[in-house]
Chain A
Amino acid sequence: MIDSFYIAWKYVRYNRIKTALLVASLVLISFLPIALHHLLNKSEHQLMSRAVSTPLLVGSQGSRMDLVMNTLYFSNDVPPLVSMKTAQEVMDSNLAGAIPMYVRYQARGFPLIGTTLDYFDFRELVIGKGRHFVTLGECIIGAKVAKKYNLKPGDSLISSPQNIFDMAGIYPLKMRIVGVLQKNDSPDDTAVFADLKTTWIIEGLGHGHQDLGEINDESVLLESSGKQIRANAKLTYYNEITDQNVESFHFHGDTEKFPLTAVIAVPSDVKSETILKGRYLADDGEEQIVVASNVINGLLDNIFRVKNIIDAVILIVTVAMVLSVILIFMLSLRLRKREIETIYNLGCSQMTTVRLVAAEVILVGIAAAFLCGILLFWLNVVSDDLVRRLVVQ
């Protein structure tokens, strides 16, 4: 059989293009269904594990899907906003703990999450290097963010402007990285976390500038009457919060009205959960409460419905490709008819030809399996990110 493999190897090597096409066909036949199932299983696992560990979400009326996807997986679709008052009401109800979430901005392409330190306890996220944020302008980053840009505590990260053409819009804020989270195979790995107030400063609800009382340059001042001093556009606003200027940062307006994208409600028991849900049942209410796992189950039902259709299509394509491969081998045998006659005339049985073709099939199969294995290994490495991009975001 060794000689059969030697001759088959010579044959497939000489007929490189035909072999490459055969191998590519077999790789596609085998890789596509396996990859699809792998990605769907990953999707299900990623979506459900996060959803079941998040009891209730309070958000503004609107798309339940956007609310869940934005809060749990930091998707780019921002749900209608609620205010800090919503979080306060949940807290005041004594039925659940409230974790305010503001998932609207990005930093170097990663979602920037404005929240409180309660979020880290709730998700059981552990700081791998550095410490938690304690003052304005500090942030901590997920493990994959740190790895991708080789960031560490002490480095800085600039929030992304929402629209570079909007001169009056969001200005980037340079944040200090004070901690890096340990990897936990969740969307938290690819996120940047800062205090809510930091994200509100990025929004423009708060700012820091030169102290008007200590300005020597008169040209900065527009008007000064008693305690009220007004400055013109020459006044310097800070785009980085440092120990020296942190005291100058302040907010204008009522913080209760400041925006959030959602509030994670963590009820103390089932009874509290039921009562809390009841409070948001009114049809004319401006807010809604959702059970994340119910929404995700609905999404998965749709995904698996689509998967069944794709499975059927892949089955048909696979049958067609297998038939094509068989046809190729049969045509190959016809082309080799003269070779078969020659080796018979030399003194070999026609089974020798079967052995040679079998060895050729095995070699092509091994090559296809090897390539398929490499692709599956690659898929396994990138599947988390791929699922996040394809399904979550």
Chain B
Amino acid sequence: MAIDIQSLEFRYDRSGFRLRVPELSVADSEKIAVIGPSGTGKTTLLKLIAGILPVATGNVVVGKTKLSELNDKKRRAFRIKNIGFVFQDFELLDYLDVSDNILHPYRISHALTLTRAVRNRAKFLANEMGIGSKLSHYTNELSQGEKQRAAICRALLTEPKLILADEATGNLDPANKERILDLLFRVIENSNAALVAVTHDHELLGRFDRVVNFQDFINDR
């Protein structure tokens, strides 16, 4: 799913932080890495692309959908159906086992329907990620790498055409980073999805199709 950003401006009222992205495009199936110093608005950009934050000025078009024309409810429905979000801190729920965590989006949204096929896909993804034997475990019984793999399974379950990863490997040791990226890239390539990944790991950049440096944008504090 392609992304086209033109003349985007966003400002947090409280902190006064301003993000300006004059132009940014991501092609279908393209894998880009977003780098830059902390506090330059990388996570904010992902939230704007995901529709978590509303676009006030400029245009953000994801696929054929212009996000600024959608209200909050429509943006949420669009997000849950089309975008898979992988968080740095995994954001798994401690009171659910791995299986329920992966299926969680289907249980909390009316936009998705939990079917047998979805359950089978959850098992398939878990096996692909190497956590098939951990489905009935609680998250506090998992290693960091296993938690991130569970979080990736959750993000991929809806078969999104766009994956947004916010420092998805930031909490992992080097061996796990490589392994998880391998798994993520393999699944994404199989589904022809685009990937926008915020990262600080410069040694991983060579694996992406393109790198966007946020220092190229002029952002104010």
B10 CB within 8 Å of chain A: no
Q: Which residues of A contact B50 (CB under 8 A)?
A: 345
Q: Is the CB of A348 within 8 A of B108?
A: yes
B200 CB within 8 Å of chain A: no
A349 CB within 8 Å of chain B: yes
A3-B114, A14-B94, A14-B95 given as contacts; is B100 within 8 A of A343 (CB)? no
CB closest chain-A residue, reference B93: A339
Q: Is the CB of B94 within 8 A of A347?
A: no
Listed stretches B14-22, B28-36, B76-84, B205-213; interface member: B76-84
Give the distance in Å from the alpha carbon of A7 to the alpha carbon of B79 in the complex.
Answer: 22
A6 CB within 8 Å of chain B: yes
CB interface residues, B 57-96, toward A, < 8 Å? 72-73, 76-81, 83, 85, 87, 91, 93-96
Q: Which residues of A contact B85 (CB under 8 A)?
A: 345-346
Q: Which residue of the partner chain, among B76, B91, B96, contacts A347 with CB atoms under 8 Å? A: B76
Q: Is the CB of B80 within 8 A of A346?
A: yes
A352 CB within 8 Å of chain B: yes
B136 CB within 8 Å of chain A: no
Q: Nearest Cβ distance between residue A13 and chain B, in whole angstroms?
A: 8
Q: Is the CB of A10 within 8 A of B87?
A: no
Q: Which residues of B contact A3 (CB under 8 A)?
A: 106-108, 114
Q: Is the CB of A7 within 8 A of B76?
A: no
When A and B form their complex, what is the total count of cross-chain residue pairs whose Cβ atoms lie within 8 Å? 64
Q: Is the CB of B91 within 8 A of A10?
A: no
Q: Nearest Cβ distance between residue A62 and chain B, in whole angstroms?
A: 67
B27 CB within 8 Å of chain A: no
Give the distance in Å from the alpha carbon of A7 to the alpha carbon of B105 in the complex.
Answer: 12
CB closest chain-A residue, reference B81: A347
Q: Is the CB of A343 within 8 A of B108?
A: yes
Q: Which residues of A contact B93 (CB under 8 A)?
A: 339, 342
Q: Is the CB of A6 within 8 A of B76?
A: no
Give the distance in Å from the alpha carbon of A67 to the alpha carbon of B111 in the complex.
Answer: 76
Q: Which residues of B contact A10 (CB under 8 A)?
A: 95-96, 100
Q: Which residues of B contact A352 (CB under 8 A)?
A: 108-109
Task: List chain A positions with a Cβ less than 8 A from chain B.
Answer: 3-4, 6-7, 10-11, 13-15, 338-339, 342-349, 352, 356
Q: List 9 A-B contacts (CB under 8 A).
A: A3-B107, A7-B100, A13-B95, A342-B91, A345-B47, A345-B52, A346-B80, A346-B109, A347-B105
Task: List chain B positions with a Cβ less than 8 A from chain A.
Answer: 47, 50, 52, 72-73, 76-81, 83, 85, 87, 91, 93-96, 100, 104-109, 111, 114, 138
